[in-house]
Amino acid sequence: MQRNPQLGEDGQLRHLLSIDGLPRDVLVNILDTARSFVSVTEREVKKVPLLRGKSVFNVFFEPSTRTRTTFEIAAKRLSADVINLNVATSSQTKGESLLDTVANLAAMQADMFVVRHASSGAPYLIARHLSQDIHVINAGDGRHAHPTQGLLDVYTIRHFKEDFTKLTVAIVGDLMHSRVARSEIHALTTLGVPEVRVIGPKTLIPPDVQKLGVHVHHDMARGLRGADVVMMLRLQNERMNGALLPSAQEYFKTYGLTPERLLLAKPDAIVMHPGPMNRGVEIDSAVADGRQSVILPQVTFGIAVRMAVMAILAGGG
Amino acid sequence: MQRNPQLGEDGQLRHLLSIDGLPRDVLVNILDTARSFVSVTEREVKKVPLLRGKSVFNVFFEPSTRTRTTFEIAAKRLSADVINLNVATSSQTKGESLLDTVANLAAMQADMFVVRHASSGAPYLIARHLSQDIHVINAGDGRHAHPTQGLLDVYTIRHFKEDFTKLTVAIVGDLMHSRVARSEIHALTTLGVPEVRVIGPKTLIPPDVQKLGVHVHHDMARGLRGADVVMMLRLQNERMNGALLPSAQEYFKTYGLTPERLLLAKPDAIVMHPGPMNRGVEIDSAVADGRQSVILPQVTFGIAVRMAVMAILAGGG
Amino acid sequence: MQRNPQLGEDGQLRHLLSIDGLPRDVLVNILDTARSFVSVTEREVKKVPLLRGKSVFNVFFEPSTRTRTTFEIAAKRLSADVINLNVATSSQTKGESLLDTVANLAAMQADMFVVRHASSGAPYLIARHLSQDIHVINAGDGRHAHPTQGLLDVYTIRHFKEDFTKLTVAIVGDLMHSRVARSEIHALTTLGVPEVRVIGPKTLIPPDVQKLGVHVHHDMARGLRGADVVMMLRLQNERMNGALLPSAQEYFKTYGLTPERLLLAKPDAIVMHPGPMNRGVEIDSAVADGRQSVILPQVTFGIAVRMAVMAILAGGG
């Protein structure tokens, strides 16, 4: 059996490439560590010296200001030196290969790479070619994975709901093009969530998703009934070819989360969204800004989760 | 009466959005605090720990390398963590609203936003939607305000002339498109300057400027006579539609500040310019580089003024 | 005789503009200082406080992510505050002159400028107009110089070969368009290397290179024979007009460094390349990744060399 490339021979986390295949205790350790950092970010001085003198490289082969920012803040609050690199517009255009670019940066004594790439698997390829003491965090690779997003979602659920083993979680929207939904499902299952539902039109639900042990609903009302957690996905307009959906308005009519529809879920259900939101497309503003929305706390917890992952990889967690 | 949105209920500065409406004691406090930072920036180690662990976000919806740089340096000399964001090219293009973008950044536990936006009022809008403990500094919004530029001008005048109450200040050039001129006039008046003159062609002087208590001159010679301070404005070519001025050469002939014209002002008059200069258009090189020019000290004081504003907002001034 | 603009009246290094004209003891001091920083970068906490509170401005009038990154890391490991500026896209477009831009930045109390510019001599021009206590490092100006690249090459040779006075060094490739080759030759000669050879097609070897005391070879085999050091140059496709070379494949056939050809050099010869490599054009992958390649150590030493230059200029070396 092949060893999980994310774990060292001692079972410790060496890279964070995907939530898939992460053992339960590793997941729980990340969540517990993140909790300690939530309190750090609430202090007057929001810094700890855990990564002092370490060099964290944000290597973005595909631009994403928001994601880069979250990692930059996390690293700086751990006192790391942060180097931002948009490689799309630099050495790649000089014809250098991905691996040469990364080997070059590693030779500058990098301690950690935060990698975003349009191609699935690029962070794995990079991780495989680095020496033992350099760590890779996948900040999104194609449609494949975006593990810190998945982790912050799970952290948010645990924060508000505490016990995973009694929850019904409904994931609504474009699962076909979502970087996170699959990993999310895996993490929720691993952490003991008994019922995960996915809701959306046939064109946006991958046919093989049922193999992950989820219940598929094409009817929004039935899917939401009794849910403790409603996770909305972003309708990624830019990824769709137009043939999959009639129109944004039509989508909102059928799958948009309105206050009326939210009444079908449990009264204390929480509403999540990874951002950026398309208000009036997948979510109504009254819900997005409503009392059940935990969309902004997700962002806050996201910083703590990224700090936790970095601290654990650097051996200081 | 509506409360000034820049001031808290205790009268303390909460945001810096415009010089307009700032009470005299608040202005003087900023200038006094800046003076203490001028000496910091002259030291071997140009850092103080006042903002250690604070996160300052430079959120530029409109690019301006020079302005961003001044705030970045100021924040770093206060030991803050600085995050630079060019939002023009990122989430705004994903269709997210201004307020969602900012709410998202605020949820990352930002302490301070330095905002530049092409639309007048954007920093006000942002300030209104943030929680109590997050501060906004306007780094330029449309044609409206650019208060730290105004403050550094006032600081420079006080540094070289000491007593505001005996001064004649002449502001020369494109008042129509100037972000700072109106605020400047307000600040000078508030600080007790008895005579403020504005000089320029009819097409570049707003018709209502006289309401601010200034004297309007269309003749350069008459306007300069006896001035203690000559503030040149940048001729913002990029903002004009071509119909307002015959040509740059023609402008220089009539309103360019030459050594001969400067003789009309007081012998110890100082010459100011916010930069970047159009040499040979609004100002002659012999004046720009001459002994009466305080254009580079303005830049130096600008860092100290920005440090002062940040320190006061963060409660450490 | 004109004083070397890089040296102060006391003979100390004030700017690093070119290796040309640097006295032997200055070169050796940089190499010795770099050696102490190599050990710093291998430590758990890779920082020293030598430049704490200093402001280092990376002013890139021509973009180069890789070069900018190396200086940014070096400065941060010395605890400096680093400001990155891509001036190509900012104030220069507002019509401001190079010297006004730099004077403006200097007035922000910069301590050091790392300058890259497409025009040869730009860093000299800048250095000439700055006050005594501000230092300039040339990070590449046109085809002229790129002294830290030259220094890291010399450092690498000393690291692996120790004694310069017994070496045969072969420089292979496009000397015509190389920023570094000429300076390199000068440095090697100054440090006592008895035989420097340049190898390449007539179209890529400047006719006057023999004046530098090197041996010119157009035959790769004869040039490599008995070499201790083989320095490959990047074939700068983007700089050539197409008329100089038949094709990349043809070039590789005649001047590409293959394992077979490398056998002609000494058995313990080292292979160097400044990167980014064109694999299969100037160098075969088997050589680039082979046991004689020191291409990645060059990168590592490059950080230490840049730290050394900065520390010496700041007076802390």
Residue type, B147: P
Length in residues, chain C? 317
Q: Round to whole Å and give the CA distance between C295 and C293.
A: 6
- Stated as kind and residue range, the H or E segment containing A169 is strand A168-172
CB proximity A86 to C under 8 Å: yes
Closest C-chain CA to A96: C276
CB nearest to B109's CB, from A41, A63, A275: A41
- Stated as kind and residue range, the H or E segment containing B84 is strand B81-86
Check CB contact under 8 Å for A63 and B90: yes
ipTM: 0.92
Contact A62, A98 (CB under 8 A): no
Interface test with C, best of A60, A82, A86, A94 (most C CBs within 10 A): A94
Spatial CA neighbour of C210 closest among C234, C189, C236 = C189
CB proximity C211 to A under 8 Å: no
Q: What is the pLDDT along chain A (317 residues), one digit of tens a residue?
A: 457 889 998 889 999 999 988 999 999 999 999 999 998 888 888 999 999 999 999 999 988 889 999 999 999 999 999 999 988 755 555 667 889 999 999 999 999 999 999 999 999 999 999 998 999 999 999 888 899 999 999 999 999 999 999 999 999 999 988 888 888 998 999 999 999 999 999 989 998 999 989 999 999 999 999 999 999 999 876 655 566 777 888 889 999 999 999 999 999 999 999 999 999 999 999 999 999 999 999 999 999 999 999 999 998 54
Region of residue C301 (phi > 0: left; psi between -120 and 50: alpha; otherwise: beta): alpha
Q: Is C168 helix (H, G, I), strand (E, B) or coil?
A: strand
Check CB contact under 8 Å for A109 and C303: yes
The two tokens of residue C237 are: 């496709």
Q: Round to whole Å and give the CA distance between B89 and A261.
A: 35
Spatial CA neighbour of A205 closest among A218, A194, A196 = A218
Contact B255, B200 (CB under 8 A): yes
What confidence score (pLDDT) does residue C316 get? 56
Q: Is B45 helix (H, G, I), strand (E, B) or coil?
A: coil
Length in residues, chain A? 317
Residues above pLDDT 90, as percent of chain C = 74
- What's the distance, Cα to Cα, between the start and end of chain C in Å? 29
User: Radius of gyration (Cα) for chain B, nearest Å?
Assistant: 19
pLDDT in tens, B216-275: 999 999 999 999 999 999 987 665 556 677 788 888 999 999 999 999 999 999 999 999
Q: Tell me the C-alpha to C-alpha distance, in Å, between residue C222 and each of A256, C36, C168, C245.
A: 74, 38, 13, 21
Contact C181, C198 (CB under 8 A): yes
Spatial CA neighbour of C66 closest among B300, A124, B189, A96 = A96
Chains that touch A (3 or more CB pairs under 8 A): B, C
pLDDT in tens, C263-309: 999 999 999 999 999 999 999 999 999 999 999 999 999 999 999 99
What confidence score (pLDDT) does residue A241 get? 54
Q: Round to whole Å and give the CA distance between B196 and B231.
A: 11
Band of residue C192 on the pLDDT scale cut at 50, 70, 90:
very high
Q: Round to whole Å and give the CA distance between C191 and C28.
A: 8
- The count of other CB atoms within 10 Å of the CB of residue B27 is 20
- The count of other CB atoms within 10 Å of the CB of residue C146 is 25
pLDDT in tens, B56-68: 999 999 888 899 9
Burial of C88 (0-12, 13-18, 19+ CB in 10 A): middle
Interface test with A, best of C46, C64, C65, C71 (most A CBs within 10 A): C65
Q: Round to whole Å and give the CA distance between A92 and A98.
A: 7
Mean pLDDT for C182-195 is 93
Helices marked H in chain B — which ranges? 24-41, 65-77, 98-107, 122-128, 147-161, 181-190, 220-224, 248-255, 259-262, 285-288, 295-313
Interface test with C, best of A72, A90, A105 (most C CBs within 10 A): A90
What confidence score (pLDDT) does residue C302 get? 98
Contact C232, C172 (CB under 8 A): yes
Check CB contact under 8 Å for A109 and C300: yes
pLDDT in tens, C111-160: 999 999 999 999 999 999 999 899 999 999 988 889 999 999 999 999 99
In sequence order, the 6+-apart residues with CB closer than 8 A to the CB of C139 are C58, C60, C64, C67, C68, C71, C114, C115, C116, C146, C148
Contact C294, C160 (CB under 8 A): yes
In sequence order, the 6+-apart residues with CB closer than 8 A to the CB of B263 are none
What confidence score (pLDDT) does residue A26 get? 95
Among B208-212, B293-297, C110-114, which is the least confidently predicted range? B208-212
Check CB contact under 8 Å for C278 and A95: yes
Q: Is A293 helix (H, G, I), strand (E, B) or coil?
A: strand
User: Radius of gyration (Cα) for chain A, nearest Å?
Assistant: 19
Window 229-258 of A, Cβ < 8 Å to C: none
In sequence order, the 6+-apart residues with CB closer than 8 A to the CB of C274 are C149, C153, C180, C233, C234, C298
CB nearest to C296's CB, from A54, A97, A107: A107
CB nearest to B296's CB, from C52, C87, C103: C103
Stated pTM of the model: 0.94
Q: Round to whole Å and give the CA distance between A139 and A117.
A: 8
Closest A-chain CA to B53: A45
Q: Tell me the C-alpha to C-alpha distance, in Å, between residue B45 and each of B38, B40, B307, B309.
A: 13, 8, 15, 21
- Stated as kind and residue range, the H or E segment containing A98 is helix A98-106
Distance from CA of C125 to the nearest CA of B (A): 17
Q: Which residue has the tokens 């973008």?
A: B101
CB proximity B88 to A under 8 Å: no
Contact C19, C183 (CB under 8 A): yes
Higher-confidence residue: C162 or C316? C162
Check CB contact under 8 Å for C296 and A91: no
Residues above pLDDT 70, as percent of chain C = 94
Torsion of CA B60, B65, B71, B74, to 10 degrees: 150
What confidence score (pLDDT) does residue A1 get? 45
Q: Which residue has the tokens 């942060």?
A: A82
Band of residue C1 on the pLDDT scale cut at 50, 70, 90:
very low
Mean pLDDT for B21-28 is 94
Contact C272, C161 (CB under 8 A): no
Residue type, B290: G
Strand ranges of the sheet holding B215-217, from the earlier edge strand across to the other edge: B215-217, B195-199, B168-172, B229-232, B270-272
What confidence score (pLDDT) does residue C250 get? 87
Q: Tell me the C-alpha to C-alpha distance, in Å, between residue A299 and each of A229, B106, B299, C267.
A: 17, 9, 37, 58
pLDDT in tens, B134-177: 999 999 998 888 999 999 999 999 999 999 999 999 999 999 88
Q: What are phi and psi of C273, to 5 degrees?
A: -155, 135
Burial of C236 (0-12, 13-18, 19+ CB in 10 A): middle
Q: Round to whole Å and give the CA distance between B91 and C249.
A: 44
Residue type, A138: N
Q: Round to whole Å and give the CA distance between A74 and A56.
A: 10
Instruction: Tell me which range, A37-46, B93-102, C5-14, C24-33, is most confidently predicted by mean pLDDT.
Output: C24-33
